[in-house]
């Protein structure tokens, strides 16, 4: 079997979303031939460099398609990319070289309709419920046309059961090799310019209210003796925000820099609020692989992976609750050591290799039995 994973991203960036995309393609391709189909943006795309930036085990199989000379990814380029994508799929169908397609955005609705007409099985991966009316409409059509749906949590699966489709729950994952950091915590801090003898909490990801950063700021005010390090793309709302003196924004970092940053922390933060954007983030598994205790919001999707044995879970939407969880992790050394060790042991079940096997088997099995209702 040969398949094609269509996306609109510029794979030269080093964001977590792109890393998830690339790792998914590589892990599926280890069992089932799949190519990543993306637009050709301005400038050279060096696959060897992409492999290095994302810590991939092999160079990904990528095909670049013309996209009207558009220089940056966005909604307009996403919509227009359906045209070369449909033509590509049509040619592959004529040549009998397209056994399935894989997407992770409802903006590919025209491509999905074309695949349905061409009788090419389609697999739709999604990590959250649709939110806007237009997104719900696109999602509804794709959900009913797709051969199978891949979701990142049982929480999301419950929503898609209404489509009566074959659904696979495949949580995000981590490359354990990337996080096998053999460096002393003090040395890691020295290399990063962190305080050697301070209690440090680290958050990685988009620095946005949608990710609960306002609660981190509240916690910093409650715990002024703790240093808070925020790593990631800064949203406009925090670009010029007045922050407490114990909060430091490092900004965006390369994927290869994250393991050392996580290892340098006393506590890792997952302060996600109770909203539909907070669904099984990839950093959850990176945190678990780091061997550092995690303080996280007690949310349904997160609690599918984290529990009171492998993390310190606190009430969501509360800076005070987050601060209490941090103080508990810092003051109770034995508890922190125990939950960190348990998290590291548990994350062995969430590798990209295992995720790739599950998705590849799901595609093979559901393509062969198209009339079965659910698995």
Q: pLDDT per residue over 319-355, tens digit each? A: 999 999 999 999 999 999 999 999 999 999 999 999 9
Paired residues of 102 in beta bridges? 5, 123
Of 41-55, 112-126, 343-357, minimum mean pLDDT range: 41-55
d(CA 44, CA 76): 22
pLDDT confidence bin for 369, thresholds 50/70/90: low
**pLDDT for the residue numbered 373:** 43
Give the rounded percent of residues in the chain with a pLDDT score beyond 70. Answer: 96
Chain region(s) in the chain for CATH 3.40.50.2000: 2-173+351-368, 185-349
Task: State residue 189 phi and psi, 5-degree precision.
Answer: -65, -40
Report how far apart the first and last C-alpha atoms of the chain are (Å, whole number): 21
pTM: 0.91
What's the fold here for domain 185-349? Rossmann fold (3.40.50)
**pLDDT for the residue numbered 92:** 97
d(CA 201, CA 143): 40
Separation in Å, CA 187 to CA 92, 190, 196: 53, 5, 9
**pLDDT for the residue numbered 375:** 36
pLDDT tops 80 at residue 188: yes
Q: Is the dihedral of CA 23, 24, 29, 31 positive or negative?
A: positive
- Provide the phi-psi class of 27: left if phi over 0, else alpha when psi is between -120 and 50, else beta: alpha
Among residues 51, 27, 45, the alpha carbon closest in space to that of 256 is found at 51
Q: How many residues does the chain have?
A: 375
pLDDT tops 90 at residue 361: yes
Task: State residue 293 phi and psi, 5-degree precision.
Answer: -60, 145
pLDDT tops 90 at residue 222: yes
pLDDT confidence bin for 78, thresholds 50/70/90: confident
Burial, 245: exposed, middle or buried (Cβ in 10 Å; 0-12, 13-18, 19+)? exposed
Q: Domain 2-173+351-368 is classified in which CATH homologous superfamily?
A: Glycogen Phosphorylase B; (3.40.50.2000)
Q: Is the dihedral of CA 87, 13, 271, 237 positive or negative?
A: negative
**pLDDT for the residue numbered 149:** 96
pLDDT tops 90 at residue 371: no
- Two tokens at 369? 């039995």
Residues 6+ apart with CB under 8 A from 61: 25, 29, 33, 34, 35, 36
pLDDT confidence bin for 374, thresholds 50/70/90: very low
Per the model's pLDDT, the better-predicted residue between 165 and 25 turns out to be 25
pLDDT tops 60 at residue 278: no
d(CA 370, CA 208): 41
d(CA 280, CA 128): 9
**pLDDT for the residue numbered 75:** 81
């Amino acid at each position: 079997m040969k398949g094609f994973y269509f996306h609109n991203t510029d794979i030269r960036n080093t964001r977590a979303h792109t890393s998830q995309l690339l790792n998914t393609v590589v892990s599926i391709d280890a069992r089932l031939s799949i190519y990543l189909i993306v637009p050709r943006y301005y400038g050279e795309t060096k696959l060897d460099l992409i492999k290095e930036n994302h810590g991939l085990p092999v160079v990904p199989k990528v095909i670049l398609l013309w996209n009207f000379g558009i220089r940056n990814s966005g909604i307009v380029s996403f919509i227009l990319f359906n045209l070369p994508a449909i033509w590509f799929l049509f040619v592959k169908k004529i040549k009998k070289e397209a056994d399935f397609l894989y997407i992770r955005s409802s903006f590919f609705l025209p491509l999905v309709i074309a695949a349905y007409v061409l009788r090419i099985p389609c697999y739709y991966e999604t990590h959250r419920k649709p939110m806007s009316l237009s997104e719900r409409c696109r999602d509804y059509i794709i959900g009913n046309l797709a051969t199978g749906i891949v979701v990142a949590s049982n929480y999301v699966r419950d929503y898609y059961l209404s489509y009566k489709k074959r659904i696979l729950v495949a949580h995000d994952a981590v490359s354990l090799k990337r996080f096998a950091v053999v460096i002393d915590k003090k040395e890691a801090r020295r290399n990063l310019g962190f305080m050697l003898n301070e209690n440090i909490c680290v958050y990685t990801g988009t620095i946005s209210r949608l990710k609960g950063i306002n609660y981190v700021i509240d916690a910093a005010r409650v715990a002024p003796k703790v240093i808070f390090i925020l790593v990631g793309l800064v949203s406009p709302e925090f670009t010029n925000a007045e922050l407490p003196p114990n909060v430091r924004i490092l900004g965006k970092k390369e994927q290869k820099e994250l393991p050392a940053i996580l290892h340098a922390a006393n506590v890792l933060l997952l302060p996600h609020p109770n909203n539909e954007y907070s669904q099984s983030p990839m950093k959850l598994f990176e945190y678990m692989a780091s061997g550092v205790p995690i303080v996280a919001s007690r949310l349904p999707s997160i609690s599918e992976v984290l529990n009171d044995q492998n993390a310190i879970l606190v009430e969501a939407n509360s800076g005070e609750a987050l601060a209490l969880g941090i103080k508990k992790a810092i003051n109770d050394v034995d508890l922190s050591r125990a939950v960190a060790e348990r998290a590291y042991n548990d994350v062995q079940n969430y590798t990209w290799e295992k995720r790739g096997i599950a998705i590849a088997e799901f595609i093979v099995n559901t393509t062969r039995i198209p009339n079965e209702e659910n698995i």
